[in-house]
Amino acid sequence: MDTHAYPVTRTDAEWRARLTPEQYAVMRNHGTERPGSCALLYEKRAGTFFCVGCDQPLFESKLKFESGTGWPSFNDPLPGSVENTVDRSYGMVRTECHCSRCGSHLGHVFEDGPPPTGLRYCINGVALRFEPLA
Ligand SMILES: [Zn+2]
């Protein structure tokens, strides 16, 4: 793991208490949830997606699109909310993305998204909490 200091830090025990085992596996151990397993994939309402690790708003649903990959996909995060690192695991070079506030792993970024950015943020739904617009 990196040694970057995040505004929100927790001990391993605190993370385990806050997150479900599945969330912990994805967010703290860089796991990947089963494609199509996330209910947020079918979330079509307007609203905001928050990091379950620290409640920072990460994405807005107007930027979400159906990528057909089985994971919730977004065009762009909210400014400053998501940071990227190069992930060389599994013999591939991918761009990993994580929450800028607590450092929790969220998913990966690919450069095959729709305009205007051409980016596709492929996010593990368990890392997100959705709140519809009131
Ligand atoms: Zn976070």
Find tokens 């200091």 and name the residue: 5
Residue 35's pLDDT is 65
The answer to whether 57 and 81 have CB atoms below 8 angstroms apart is yes
Q: Which residues surround ligand 1, an ion (CB under 5 A)?
A: 51, 53-54, 56, 99, 101-102, 104
Cα 133 to Cα 49, 74, 75, 89, 118: the distances in Å are 11, 18, 19, 37, 26
- Tens of pLDDT, residue by residue over 97-130, are 999 999 999 998 888 877 777 888 888 889 999 8
| Cα 6 to averaged position of ligand 1 atoms, centre (Å) | 9
Q: What is the mean pLDDT of the chain?
A: 83
Residue 66's pLDDT is 57
| Cα 101 to averaged position of ligand 1 atoms, centre (Å) | 5
pTM for the predicted model, two decimal places: 0.81
Which H or E run includes 21? helix 21-27
**Mean pLDDT on 13-30:** 94
Please state which of the ranges 15-29, 34-48, 90-104 shows the lowest mean pLDDT: 34-48
| Cα 54 to averaged position of ligand 1 atoms, centre (Å) | 4
Residue 5's pLDDT is 84
The answer to whether 103 and 84 have CB atoms below 8 angstroms apart is no
The answer to whether 127 and 74 have CB atoms below 8 angstroms apart is no
Residue 2's pLDDT is 53
Residue 8's pLDDT is 95
Q: Reply yes or no on whether the pLDDT at 11 is more than 70.
A: yes
| Cα 34 to averaged position of ligand 1 atoms, centre (Å) | 21
User: Would you call 99 a catalytic residue per the annotation?
Assistant: no
